[in-house]
Structure 1
Amino acid sequence: MIELKDISKIYKTKNGEITAVKDVSLSINKGEIFGIIGYSGAGKSTMIRLLNGLEKPTTGTVEVNGQQISSITGTQLRQARQKISMIFQHFNLLWSRTVADNIAFPLEIAGVPKAERVTRVKELIDLVGLTGRENAYPSQLSGGQKQRVGIARALANNPEVLLCDEATSALDPETTDAILELLLDINKRLGLTIVLITHEMHVIRKICRRVAVMEAGRVVESGDVLDVFQNPQAEITKNFVMQVSGTRESKESIEQILVNYPTGKIVKLTFIGNKTEQPVISQIIKEFNVEVNIVHGNITQTTSGPYGTLIVQIDGKPNQVEEAFKLLESREIQAEVIDHV
Structure 2
Amino acid sequence: MITLKDVKKIFSSKSGEVTAVNGINLEIKQGEIFGIIGYSGAGKSTLIRMFNQLEKPTSGSIIVDDREMATLRGRELRLARQEIGMIFQHFNLLWSRTVRENIEFPLEIAGVAPSKRKERSAELIKLVGLEGREDAYPSELSGGQKQRVGIARALANNPKVLLCDEATSALDPQTTDSILELLVDINERLGLTIILITHEMHVIRKISHKVAVMENGSVVEQGDVLTVFKKPQEAITKRFVSQFTEPEEVKETGEHLIEKFPNGHVIQLTFVGEGTEAPIITNVIRNFDVTVNILQGKISHLQAGAYGTLFIHIDGEDEEVQHAITYIREQSVGVEVMANA
TM-score (norm 1): 0.97
1:130 paired residue number: 130
1:240 paired residue number: 240
Letter in structure 2 aligned against 1:165: D
1:40-119 matches, cutoff 5 A? 40-119=40-119
Is the contact between residue 258 and residue 338 of structure 2 (CA under 8 Å) also seen in structure 1? no
CA-CA distance at 1:260 after TM superposition: 2.8
2:208 paired residue number: 208
Is the contact between residue 4 and residue 24 of structure 2 (CA under 8 Å) also seen in structure 1? yes
1:300-315 matches, cutoff 5 A? 300-315=300-315
Cα displacement string for residues 39-94 of structure 1 (whole angstroms, at most 9, x for unaligned residues): 11111001101111111211210000011012212221111111111000110111
Is the contact between residue 254 and residue 295 of structure 1 (CA under 8 Å) also seen in structure 2? no
How far apart, in 2, do the equivalents of 1:144 and 1:97 lie?
A: 18
1:284 paired residue number: 284
Letter in structure 2 aligned against 1:37: I
Is the contact between residue 40 and residue 199 of structure 1 (CA under 8 Å) also seen in structure 2? yes
Cα displacement string for residues 239-264 of structure 1 (whole angstroms, at most 9, x for unaligned residues): 11111223465343755532232122
1:270 paired residue number: 270
Cα distance 1:185–1:34, how it changes in 2: closer, same or farther (>3 A)? same
1:194 paired residue number: 194
Q: Aligned to 2:169, what secondary structure does the other structure show? A: coil
Letter in structure 2 aligned against 1:177: D
CA-CA distance at 1:305 after TM superposition: 1.1
1:248-263 matches, cutoff 5 A? 250-252=250-252, 254-263=254-263
Is the contact between residue 56 and residue 70 of structure 1 (CA under 8 Å) also seen in structure 2? yes
Deviates more, 1:167-176 or 1:285-294: 285-294
Deviates more, 1:227-236 or 1:241-250: 241-250
How far apart, in 1, do the equivalents of 2:299 and 2:21 lie?
A: 34
Is the contact between residue 226 and residue 304 of structure 1 (CA under 8 Å) also seen in structure 2? yes
Letter in structure 1 aligned against 2:215: E
How far apart, in 1, do the equivalents of 2:252 and 2:271 lie?
A: 23
Paired-residue identity, %: 61
Cα displacement string for residues 205-246 of structure 1 (whole angstroms, at most 9, x for unaligned residues): 111111111111111111111111111111111111111223
How far apart, in 2, do the equivalents of 1:155 and 1:189 lie?
A: 13
CA-CA distance at 1:16 after TM superposition: 0.6
Q: Aligned to 2:90, what secondary structure does the other structure show? A: coil
Q: Aligned to 2:194, what secondary structure does the other structure show? A: strand
**1:298 is aligned to 2:298:** yes
Q: Aligned to 1:228, what secondary structure does the other structure show? A: helix
Is the contact between residue 99 and residue 149 of structure 1 (CA under 8 Å) also seen in structure 2? yes
**1:5 is aligned to 2:12:** no
**1:323 is aligned to 2:341:** no
1:153 paired residue number: 153
Cα distance 1:123–1:299, how it changes in 2: closer, same or farther (>3 A)? same
Cα distance 1:21–1:29, how it changes in 2: closer, same or farther (>3 A)? same
Q: Aligned to 1:70, what secondary structure does the other structure show? A: helix
1:23 paired residue number: 23
How far apart, in 2, do the equivalents of 1:203 and 1:269 lie?
A: 24
How far apart, in 2, do the equivalents of 1:3 and 1:254 lie?
A: 41
Letter in structure 1 aligned against 2:225: V
1:226 paired residue number: 226
CA-CA distance at 1:322 after TM superposition: 1.1
How far apart, in 2, do the equivalents of 1:211 and 1:283 lie?
A: 35
Q: Aligned to 1:250, what secondary structure does the other structure show? A: coil
CA RMSD of aligned residues (A): 1.4
How far apart, in 2, do the equivalents of 1:248 and 1:140 lie?
A: 36
Q: Aligned to 1:180, what secondary structure does the other structure show? A: helix
